[in-house]
Structure 1
Amino acid sequence: MQFHEVTYDSAQPVDSYGPGFFRVAGKVVHGPVLVTAETASAWGGLDDIDSLTALADQIDVLFLGMGAEIAHPPAALREALEEAGIGIELMGSAAACRTYNVLIAEGRRIALAALPV
């Protein structure tokens, strides 16, 4: 088996996370986080739909980390993302961070919106 070092070029990988925070490309964000290849910032949580739909021309899929456990998002959030043409993948935040890192390294048009664990 060969191992290859993952490179992110200029993308923003999730370095780590813990109770109430995420570390993205060396920067700590407290509370919910919204991460794209270019930026990482605090996110208003499940009620902050506008921040997510504004990404419609930049991404194809949004990984939605629901915290420690997977859960259904509010119907209004799911409907708004579908209307904007953004695919949504629900998972726990830990899995969402790992999946985001793998796919962003491949140059995919994705984003991560995650609630803290």
Structure 2
Amino acid sequence: MRINEITFTDAVPVDGYGPGFFRVGGSVHTGPMLMYGAGANPWGGLSDEAALLDLVGHVDVLFVGTGAEIFHLPSALRARLEEAGLGVEVMNSPAACRTYNVLLSEGRRVALAVLPV
């Protein structure tokens, strides 16, 4: 087996998560979180559409973590994001964090909006 060290350049990956929190760069963030580039910021959840639309032009894909269980985004929200040119992938939060980290390590232009488990 060949093991390669993962480098994230300027971006910061999700280090871990648990009930109601996410760990990023050694800091604990409680509640919903939005990650893009080198930072993690509080996010207002699915009703905070403006924060998601601000990502347009900066990222190609937005991973939305819906907590412990997967559920569909409101169709109007998904339509506005896709019309703006943002690819949207919805999954539970653990899968969203893992997928975000993998694509981030590949240097991809990705963002993560997650609800806590």
In structure 1, distance between residues paired with 2:116 and 2:28: 12
RMSD of Structure 2 on Structure 1 (CA) = 0.8
Unaligned runs of 5+ in 1: none
Following TM superposition, where does structure 1 have runs of at least 4 consecutive aligned residues deviating by more than 4 angstroms?
none
Matches within 5 A, 1:20-39: 20-39=20-39
Partner residue in 2 for 1:65: 65
Q: In structure 2, what is the Cα distance between the partners aligned to 1:16 and 1:52?
A: 22
Match in the other structure for 2:43: 43
Paired letter, 1:59: V
Gaps of 5+ in 2: none
**For residues 53 and 79 of structure 1, what CA distance do their matches in structure 2 show?**
12
Q: Deviations over 1:31-72 (max 9, x none)?
A: 000001221101000000000010101001000001001100
- Equivalent residue number for residue 76 of structure 2: 76
How many matched pairs? 117
Distance in 2, matches of 1:58 and 1:92, equals: 23
1:76 is displaced (CA, Å) by 2.2
Partner of 1:14: 14
TM-score (norm 2): 0.96
Moved more, 18-27 or 89-98: 18-27
